[in-house]
Amino acid sequence: MSNNLYSAIQSALHKAPERALIRLLDGRSLTGADLDRDSAILASVLVAAGVTPGDRVSVQVDKSWMNVVLYLAVLRVGGVYLPLNTAYTDSEITYFVTDAEPKVHVCSAQRAAHVEGLTGEVAGLSVMTLGDESGSLYDAFLAAQSAGSRVDAIADRAADDIASILYTSGTTGKPKGAMITHGNLLSNAQMLTEAWGYSGEDTLLHALPLFHVHGLFVALNLALVNGGPVWLLPKFDPALVMEALPQSTVMMGVPTYYTRMLAEPSFDQAATAHMRLFISGSAPLLVETSDEFFERTGQRILERYGMTETGMSCSNPLHGDRRAGAVGPPLPGVEVRVVGEDGQELPRGEIGSLEVKGAHVFKGYWKLPEKTAAEFRGEWFITGDMAVHSEDHYISIVGRGKDLIISGGLNIYPKEIEDLLNDQPGVVESAVIGVPHPDFGEGIVAVLVGGEPLDMSALEAVCREKLAGFKVPRRWVQLESLPRNTMGKVQKNLLRDDYKDSFSG
C-alpha cells in the first residue's frame, strides 16, 4: 500500500461512500464518493497542467468546498500542497512563489495578474484562478467532468516524501518553508485519533482557515482520515457557529473563538449539551477564559500544543485532568524533554527549552539544510519554546525564546516587521512586541526611536501596503532610546512590562 496520505483518506471515504462528509450551511453537501470522484477529476486537470509527483502547487484562495477538493487532488497526484494566507500581500507572494517554484499557482481572479508577472522568474509556472465556483480552475474541472477525464490512480509516495510546505516566518531573515511529509501527517492524525477518541461518528464544526496547520492538518485531516462529517463554515462567525453547533460533536478553535462565543448570551450549557469536545490551540488559552467557559457550559476546553514543524505534540487528556494553563502530556508516540543551555535534560519543575521527537516531526526547511541542522539536536527538534515538565508528565509553556507573537491564532515574528520599519526614513531603530489583548490573545506594539517626531500614520500605511493585515502594529510608541542590557541587546521584556496594558480597558 502506498504511503500517500490520500490512500488512508480514500480508505475512509470508501467505508461510508454515501455519508455526507463536507456539509455546507446552504444545505449542499459532498459525500465520500463525491470527494473521491471530484478529486480524481481535478487531479486530471493538474496532470494536464504538468504537475508530477514532487511538484509544488501553491494555493491562495478563500475557504470553500473546492478548496478541499483541490487539496485532495494535489495529494492524489503526489504533488506538494503549499497553502498561503489570503491576507498575504503581493510582495509577500512574490517571495513564496519564487522560493517554492510551484508548477501551478491557484489564486483569486483579483490576485492573478501579479503572479502571472512572475512567470519569467519561475520556470514552467502556470497561474489558475479559483473562486468558490468560478475561475479558470473551476472551468477546467467542469470541462474534465463533462469529458469523463479523471485520474483514479494514487501516486505512489514514500512516508518520507513531502506532502506539503508551510511557510513559517523566522526571527531572522526570510520566512522558511517547513517540509511536511506524508508520514508526518498520517502519524499525527493517528495520534490525535487515539488521544481524542475521534471516529467517523464525530461531526466536526470547522470554522478555521484552511491555509494554516490547525485548520488543514489538525482539523480537516483528522476528520477525513476517520471518514467523519465536517460542517465547513466559510469563516469564524458566532452566528454561523451557533447554527452548526446543534449538529456537531467536536469544535476546534483558537482562544479568540472561545472568548467571542462567550460574548453570545445564547451560548450556554443547553446549547452545548450534545457537544463531546471543545479543543483550543495555536495560542495560549487564558486561565480566565478556560474557567469562564467551564462555568457557562459545564465543559472544560481541551488545550493542546503544536507548531508548524511538528503538527501536534502534546494534549490535555480526553479523560482526566485538563489543566488550565498546561498543554498536557505528550501524545502517543511523541517524546518530549526540557533541557538547559548545555542541552542536558533538566529536573522536573525547572524551566528550560522544550525539545520533541517522533514520527510527526517535519523533514526540514526547504532549500535551507544548514538552518535545518541548527534546529535539531540529534533526533530532537528544538521548538524554541520555554517550558516546564511536571512530575506527572504535563507540559506547561512559559515563554518563547524566539519572541514569537501569536495574535488571533496566527504566528507573527517581530523581526519581519522591524526590518521593514528600520528601512523607513526617520526611523533609527525599532522593537516590535506582543502584549495581552482581550480578543486576539496578543496585540502588536511598535516601539520606535527617531531623530525627529515620526509620522506614525505614514509608517502604518507602509506596513499595510507591505505586510498582511494581521502583522500590522495596533499601537505605535516613540522613545528617545530602547532599553538595553550590558551586552547591548534590546530588553523586550521591559518593553512588554511597560506596555502590557496597551489594550486593556
Chain segment 159-212, per-residue pLDDT in tens: 999 999 999 865 456 899 999 999 999 999 999 999 999 999 999 999 999 999
Q: Which amino acid is at 13?
A: L
Say yes or no to pLDDT of 497 above 60.
yes
Collect all residues with Cβ–Cβ distance below 8 Å to 486 and sequence separation of at least 6: none
pLDDT of residue 280: 94
pLDDT in tens, 212-259: 999 999 999 999 999 999 999 999 999 999 999 999 999 999 988 999
| Confidence category of residue 282, pLDDT binned at 50, 70, 90 | confident
Say yes or no to pLDDT of 140 above 70.
yes
The C-alpha cell that represents 431 in the structure block: 522593537
The C-alpha cell that represents 233 in the structure block: 463554515
Say yes or no to pLDDT of 25 above 70.
yes
Q: Are 434 and 443 in contact (CB under 8 A)?
A: yes
Phi, psi for 104 (deg, rounded to 5): -135, 135
- Dihedral sign, Cα of residue 379, residue 385, residue 390, residue 394: negative
Q: Phi-psi category of 271—alpha, beta or left, where left has phi over 0 and alpha has psi -120 to 50?
A: alpha
pLDDT of residue 402: 65
Contacts 24+ apart (CB under 8 A), 483-490: 490/431
pLDDT in tens, 339-368: 998 999 999 999 889 999 999 999 999 999
Q: What stretch(es) of the chain map to CATH 3.30.300.30?
A: 405-498
CA distances from 470 to 43, 409, 420, 501 (A): 33, 10, 15, 20
CA distances from 269 to 125, 280, 294, 320 (A): 52, 18, 9, 20
User: 287: exposed, middle or buried (C-beta count within 10 Å: 0-12, 13-18, 19+)?
Assistant: exposed
The torsion defined by the Cα of 297, 303, 308 and 311, in degrees rounded to 10, comes to: -100
What would be the CATH architecture of the domain defined by 405-498?
A: 2-Layer Sandwich (3.30)
Q: Which amino acid is at 410?
A: L
Q: What is the mean pLDDT of residues 85-113?
A: 96
CA separation for the pair 406, 399 (Å, rounded): 12
* Nearest residue to 279 via CA among 247, 312, 303: 303
CA separation for the pair 432, 421 (Å, rounded): 10
Most confident option among 59-63, 318-322, 397-401 = 59-63
Q: What stretch(es) of the chain map to CATH 3.40.50.12780?
A: 5-157, 213-400
Phi, psi for 471 (deg, rounded to 5): -95, -5
Q: Residue 463 half-sphere exposure, CB side, CA atoms within 13 Å?
A: 25
pLDDT of residue 170: 54
| Confidence category of residue 504, pLDDT binned at 50, 70, 90 | confident
pLDDT in tens, 402-417: 677 889 988 787 888 9
- β-partners of residue 207 are none
Q: What is the mean pLDDT of residues 467-475?
A: 96
Question: How crowded is residue 339: how many other Cβ atoms within 10 Å of its Cβ?
Answer: 17
CA separation for the pair 342, 358 (Å, rounded): 22
Say yes or no to pLDDT of 287 above 90.
no
% of the chain exceeding 90 in pLDDT = 85
pLDDT of residue 172: 53
| Confidence category of residue 487, pLDDT binned at 50, 70, 90 | very low
Q: What is the mean pLDDT of residues 467-491?
A: 86
pLDDT of residue 173: 63
Say yes or no to pLDDT of 283 above 80.
no
Q: Classify domain 213-400 at the CATH topology level.
A: Rossmann fold (3.40.50)
Phi, psi for 362 (deg, rounded to 5): -60, 170
Q: Are 412 and 434 in contact (CB under 8 A)?
A: yes
Collect all residues with Cβ–Cβ distance below 8 Å to 7 and sequence separation of at least 6: 1, 154
Q: What CATH number belongs to 5-157?
A: 3.40.50.12780
* Nearest residue to 193 via CA among 160, 227, 162, 232: 227
